[in-house]
A and B are shown apart, each in its own frame.
Chain A
Amino acid sequence: MSDVRFWRRRRVRRAAAWTVTAAVLAGGLFWVSGGYDSWRDDRALDSACDGDLAAGAVRELFGGISLTSSGRWADRGHCTVSASDDDTDAGLVLWSGQTEHMTNLENSDGFDAPLGHGWTGSFRFNPDTEDTDEAGAVLMLSCGKESGYGQLMTAEADLDRGGFDDPVARERLVAVLTETASAYARRTGCEAPVGGRVKNVGVTTTRADYKPVAAATGSCAGLLDGKTAARWGVRTVQEVAGDPAPGENCVLGSRSGAFLYGFTASYGPSARYAHMRLDERRDSRRPGTSAYALAAGCPGAGGTALFEVETLLDDDTPQQAAPVVDHKGLRAALQRFAERSAKRHGCKAPRPA
C-alpha cells in the first residue's frame, strides 16, 4: 500500500471513530437528561386509551409537563394520564361506562354547570374550594334512539399548579373530554350526535350564587309569575344554564337565598337512582312531605327521566313542610319545569311518576 493511501485510510478511520464516539456521547446525554423518556412518553400519549385520547388537548391542558399514560382502557373503564415527575400531582383520569349498568352519578356540593354547545354534560368545579387545581366533567352520549342505552364518560383532572378558576383551563379540560368521547364513540360504533367546541365553561353554582327571581334566565326561568313568587315568599333563585345535563336543578329561595323549594331533573343513571329513592319513600308509607314527582321517557342515555320538587322541611317534624304550601301551584310549577327540561332532552311529555 502506498504511503498516501495509508495516511488517507488512517484519517478516515480516525474521523469515523470520532463520529461514533460523538454519537454515543450525544445519545447517552440524551438518555441521561431524560430526553429519551420524554420523547417516548410523548409518543405513548398519542396512542393512549386505545388511541381515543385527545393527546393534543391533553398537552394543551397540562402545558409543558411531561406525561405518562395508560395504553388501554383498563378493566373498569379507566384510562389515566399522569405527570412523569413524581414531584407533581398533575394528572387526569378518564372513565367510560354504559349508562344501563350504572345506578347513580356522584353528587356535587352545588349544581354543576351544563356544557351546552350541543352536548349533554356538565362541569364540576366549586369556585369556593381551596383546591382550585381540581375539577371534573361528565358527558352522556346516546348511542341510538333506544331508551336507556348510552355511554357515560367522565374526566377528573388535577393541574397541581394553576387553577380551574381560569376559564381557559376549564375549556381545555372539556376539550379533552369531548374529543376523547367522540373518538371513543367512532371506534366503538356508538352513533352519538356530537356537539361543538365548548366555550365559556361555567362553574358549579353554590349558595353564594343566588340571584333575584326576576333575573332568572336558565333552569328557573318562568317557573313562577311575580304575584305567585311574592305570595310564596320567594325572592331569589339558584339556577343553572338552560342546557341539557345529566342533572338539572332550580332552587327558589327567600330574600337571603335560603332554600324554600327545590326542583330537580334527573336523567340516565341519576334518574335510576332517583326512582329507587322515590319507590323507597312510597313503600315506607311515610307521610307526604309536599314532594311531587313526574317521569318521562327519553331517547338514548336519558332513559326514564324523573322530575321532582321538594319543600323546606320543618326542623322538628321532618315529615312536614315548613312553609304553607300552595299544592296546586307547586304541582303546576313542577309541570312547567319538567316540560322545559324534557324538551331540551327530546323526551316525551312528563306524566305523574
Chain B
Amino acid sequence: MVAAAWERFIGHRVLPKAALVVLAAALVAGFLLVRSERRDAHNAEVLDTACGGVLPRAAISGLLPGDETWELYGDLDLTGPSGRGPRTLLRCSVQWDEYWGDASGSLELAAVPVLDFAPTGVRLRDILSASAAKEPRWATAYLDATTQVTADCPAGLPGYPRPVTRFRVHASLEDDGAEVAGAPEKLRGAVAAAANHVRDRGGCGGPAVKPSDVRPPPAGPVEDPDEESDAVPPSCRWFRPGMLDGKAWGPDDREPDGVTGDDVDACSLSVPRAKPANRLDHVAEVGSVSWRGPLLPEVRTAYGAELAALSGAPEPESGEKSYTLAVWAESSCSGARTLSRVTVTTAESALAAGRADRILAAYLAASDCRAVKVLGKVWK
C-alpha cells in the first residue's frame, strides 16, 4: 500500500516539485530560526560579559540593533586591588557590522582615574611648556564621549602610588559613524552602573552615583570674542617695548608666550630693538614669573642656587654674546604673598643693568603688588 502511494506521489505532475519546495522552505526557515536564536544567545552573552557584566541588559539591548551579531572587543576589568594602579579601570567595546551592507556601529564605555598632570616644574620654561603640553588621550577621551560622569572615591582607589579620589566613566554610542539620537539619556543607566561597580570593587565609600548625575561632557573653552587671536597674553600686557628702547612687534617677531593661573603668572617675550647698538643687538628678551601660595617652597628649592647668589650690584662677566640679568622681589600682590622674578636679556650688559630695576617696578605695579622688597640681582 505504501509502495502504491509512493508510486502515485512520484507519478503526480505537481506534488513532487511542491514537496521539494516546501522542504527547501522548511530547511531555510529552520536555518534562519536557529541562526537567530544562536545570535540572540551570543548577544546576551556579550552583554553579560562586557565591562564586568554591569551593563543593564534590558536598557542596552534596546539601544543596539537586535538583528545583528554583536562582538565584544577590548574587554578589561581592573577594578578592585590590581596592584600598581592602571590607567584604565574598566573598558569594553561592543561592535556590530551589518550583514548585508557597509554600516557598522559601536557602544564603548570606559572608566579611568583622574590623575593630576602637574607641570614638570615651577621654572618659567616648565610653566610655559606645561600649558602647551597635552594630557594623554585616555585622560581626555571623556570630552569626546556621548555622556560621562566624574565620581568621587573618598577612600581612594586601591593600587595607586598616591591618593586618587576621583574617577571618570564615559560612554559613546555610534551607528554608522554618527551619534545615535537620544543616546546621552539612554546611556545614563549604563554609565551610573559602571561607576558604582568601580566604587563597590574599590571600596570607595560615599554616596552611590545616580543616573541623574550623568551628563554630556563639558563644552571646550569658550574663546573670548573680544580677544584677538594674536593678542598679547594677559600676563605679558604689563610690558611696553619702550622699556628697552624697542619697537612694536611685527609679524616676523616671536609672539609673546604667557600663562595666567591661580598660583602662577608667567610671560616670555622678545622685543625688537629700535636702534641696535651692534650687530648682535637686534632683539632683547624679557621674562617674568610671579608665584603664590603652595608653590613658594618649591620655587625656593628649584631656584635655591640663584637665590643664594643674589646681590645688590653684581658685575657681569665680559666678552659674552648675550647678557641675562635676573632680579627678584618679594611683595604682596592682590593680598597674596608673592615671589617674583624678572629677567632681561640683551646683547649689551649696560642696557640690562640700567633698565632691570625699572622693568621690575613696572611689572609689580601692573600686578597691583605692594610692600615690595627687592631681594637682589644675579647675572646668569
Given the contacts A207-B120, A256-B119, A316-B324, A323 and B305 also touching, CB distance less than 8 Å: yes
Using Cβ atoms and an 8 Å threshold, which residues of chain B touch A324?
304-305, 308
Which of A11-19, A26-34, A162-170, A271-279 lines the interface with chain B?
A: A162-170
For the complex, count residues of B whose C-beta is within 8 A of A. Answer: 42
User: Which of the residues B83, B115, B304 comes within 8 Å of A167, measured between beta carbons?
Assistant: B83
Using Cβ atoms and an 8 Å threshold, which residues of chain A touch B308?
324
Which residues from 187 to 238 on chain A have a C-beta closer than 8 Å to any C-beta of chain B?
200, 202-203, 207-212, 215, 232-233, 236
B297 near A255 with CB under 8 A, answer: yes
A321 near B84 with CB under 8 A, answer: no
Which residues from 288 to 339 on chain B have a C-beta closer than 8 Å to any C-beta of chain A?
294, 297-298, 300-306, 308, 324, 326
B119 near A258 with CB under 8 A, answer: yes
**B119: nearest chain-A partner, CB-CB:** A256
Using Cβ atoms and an 8 Å threshold, which residues of chain A touch B119?
256, 258
Using Cβ atoms and an 8 Å threshold, which residues of chain B touch A167?
78, 82-83
**Closest CB-CB distance, B372 to chain A, in whole Å?**
24
B161 near A210 with CB under 8 A, answer: yes
- Does B54 reach chain A (CB closer than 8 Å)? no
For the complex, count residues of A whose C-beta is within 8 A of B. Answer: 41
User: Which of the residues B74, B84, B294, B343 comes within 8 Å of A255, measured between beta carbons?
Assistant: B294
A255 near B380 with CB under 8 A, answer: no
Counting residue pairs across A and B whose Cβ atoms lie within 8 Å, the total is 102
Using Cβ atoms and an 8 Å threshold, which residues of chain A touch B305?
314, 320-325
B121 near A317 with CB under 8 A, answer: no
**Closest CB-CB distance, B295 to chain A, in whole Å?**
8
- Residue among B87, B161, B324, B326 facing the most chain A CB atoms (10 A cut-off): B161
Using Cβ atoms and an 8 Å threshold, which residues of chain A touch B324?
316
- Does B249 reach chain A (CB closer than 8 Å)? no
Bound CA span A133–B123, Å: 35
**Closest CB-CB distance, A239 to chain B, in whole Å?**
9
User: Which of the residues B86, B87, B121, B162 comes within 8 Å of A254, measured between beta carbons?
Assistant: B121
- Residue among A127, A129, A259, A316 facing the most chain B CB atoms (10 A cut-off): A316
Q: Mark A106-142, 1 if CB is under 8 A from B, else 0.
A: 0000000000000000000001111000000000000
- Residue among B120, B121, B123 facing the most chain A CB atoms (10 A cut-off): B121
- Does B125 reach chain A (CB closer than 8 Å)? yes
Using Cβ atoms and an 8 Å threshold, which residues of chain A touch B123?
315, 322
- Residue among A212, A315, A324 facing the most chain B CB atoms (10 A cut-off): A315
**B77: nearest chain-A partner, CB-CB:** A166
- Does B367 reach chain A (CB closer than 8 Å)? no
**A239: nearest chain-B partner, CB-CB:** B161
B82 near A317 with CB under 8 A, answer: no
- Does A260 reach chain B (CB closer than 8 Å)? yes
User: Which of the residues B118, B125, B161, B301 comes within 8 Å of A232, measured between beta carbons?
Assistant: B301
User: Which of the residues A128, A209, A256, A314 comes within 8 Å of B306, measured between beta carbons?
Assistant: A314
**A231: nearest chain-B partner, CB-CB:** B301
User: Which of the residues A208, A255, A316 comes within 8 Å of B298, measured between beta carbons?
Assistant: A255
- Does A343 reach chain B (CB closer than 8 Å)? no
- Does B11 reach chain A (CB closer than 8 Å)? no
Bound CA span A321–B305, Å: 7
**A256: nearest chain-B partner, CB-CB:** B118
A260 near B136 with CB under 8 A, answer: no
Bound CA span A317–B304, Å: 14
**Closest CB-CB distance, A132 to chain B, in whole Å?**
8
Bound CA span A166–B301, Å: 39
**Closest CB-CB distance, B353 to chain A, in whole Å?**
16
**Closest CB-CB distance, A225 to chain B, in whole Å?**
17
Using Cβ atoms and an 8 Å threshold, which residues of chain B touch A259?
120-121
Given the contacts A165-B86, A165-B88, A314-B305, A257 and B118 also touching, CB distance less than 8 Å: yes
- Does B73 reach chain A (CB closer than 8 Å)? yes
A258 near B117 with CB under 8 A, answer: no
- Does A43 reach chain B (CB closer than 8 Å)? no
Q: Mark A236-260, 1 if CB is under 8 A from B, else 0.
A: 1000000000000000001111111
Q: List 20 A-B contacts (CB under 8 A).
A: A128-B136, A128-B138, A130-B136, A163-B74, A165-B88, A167-B78, A203-B84, A207-B120, A210-B161, A233-B300, A256-B119, A256-B121, A258-B119, A258-B121, A316-B343, A321-B305, A323-B303, A323-B304, A324-B305, A324-B308
Taking Cβ atoms with an 8 Å cutoff, the residues of A that contact B are 127-130, 161-163, 165-167, 200, 202-203, 207-212, 215, 232-233, 236, 254-260, 312, 314-317, 320-325
Q: 8 other contacts beyond A254-B121, A255-B298, A256-B121, with CB at 8 A cut-off?
A: A129-B136, A167-B83, A208-B116, A210-B161, A258-B118, A320-B305, A323-B302, A324-B305
